[in-house]
Amino acid sequence: MINVALIYSYFAVASSAGVIYDWALGFGQEIELVWRQRWSLMTLLYLSVRYFGIVFVVTNIMYNAPTIPMTGTVSLIVSIVQNWINFLATVIIGVIMIVRLRAVYQGSTKVMAFLIVAFLAIVIFYCAFDIIATSHLSGEELILSYTYRCDVVFEGGDSTLMYTVTWILITAWEVVAVCLTAWIAVKHFRELRRHSGRDIVEDGLAVLVKSHVAYFASFIAASSFELGYLSPVVSMSNSNSLGPAIYAGVASIFSLIQLFVLGPRLILCIRKHYARVEAESSATIGLSSIAFQERVHVQTSTSV
């Protein structure tokens, strides 16, 4: 069993370190596009999902690293914190999706009413599932092959049904969001063929669609792995089998990428695009001004 635990810990620590590396790599861009800009709802949403992710991966390393000893109580607290961070990150990204769709649908009342009601229903069910799950967790301390380890186990019976329904609802929400995005994108690109002078708007929409498709693809991969736990082969508690540990490790990689790498980029990529558009526009104005000044100078010299 200790070998199985070590295999999973390698995946968990590596994926967590990857999220921290991604944050560090883009921190300079984050300062320019987020911290130094006027604060808004999207700023708060970005910072929340980004730094909830940092807290999650740090606690994930603490929980899974075999060289860091933890008591059963501390392991239980860390597990509960991680469960609720997952919940909050999912809710925040859902709100980001609603704000993005509100922008592209120009505040359509029907679309907003549908999205808000559907999302609230999913959040309530997900929250109820998390409350039940965390209330039945317990930490136990083990010593395996002279290695100290703490595990958190669920003691509330079979939660398969609620777990399955929760993931189906979340998956349905993501499918609806990507379909609404694709529909408005197709509609706008058709209009682009008939009209001119809307390059900036359409280019921004293209960036939005690309970021949404990348996020949706990672979500489908993560959801497929999560729902795969329903399989008896994957969920079996065979201490001598490395298969479930490797499966869980790969699943954790996709889950972290989806929530804490591609999630924040839903906002960052749009801000990066419009910052580039603004810079190019300023450069064009600057060149026009220089050309105008040179023309005036030449005309004045000629008249003299």
Q: Give the pLDDT of the chain (304 residues) as one tens digit per residue.
A: 556 667 888 888 889 999 999 999 999 999 999 999 999 999 999 999 999 999 999 999 888 877 777 777 778 888 889 999 999 999 999 999 999 999 888 888 999 999 999 999 999 999 998 998 888 777 666 555 555 566 666 665 666 778 888 888 999 999 999 999 999 888 877 777 776 554 444 467 888 888 999 999 999 999 888 877 777 666 655 555 777 778 888 888 999 999 999 999 999 999 998 888 888 776 655 555 554 454 444 343 443 3
Cβ atoms of 271 and 34 closer than 8 Å = yes
CA dihedral 180, 186, 192, 195 (to 10 degrees): -80
Task: Quote the pLDDT of residue 258.
Answer: 93
Single pTM value for the model: 0.84
* Consecutive H or E run containing 143: strand 137-144
Task: Quote the pLDDT of residue 95.
Answer: 96
Cβ atoms of 269 and 211 closer than 8 Å = yes
Task: Quote the pLDDT of residue 104.
Answer: 87
Beta strands 137-144 and 147-154 are antiparallel
Q: What b/e sequence results for 114-125 when a residue is b if at least 16 CB atoms lie within 10 Å of its CB, and e otherwise?
A: ebeebbeebbee
State phi, psi for 150 to the nearest 5 degrees: -115, 135
Which of 257, 223, 271 lies closest to 45 in space, CA to CA? 271
Alpha-helical (H) ranges within 156-242 are 160-194, 199-228, 232-235
Count CB neighbours of 11 within 10 A: 19
Provide the phi-psi class of 40: left if phi over 0, else alpha when psi is between -120 and 50, else beta.
Answer: beta
Single-letter residue type at 229: Y
Token couple for 178: 């990507």
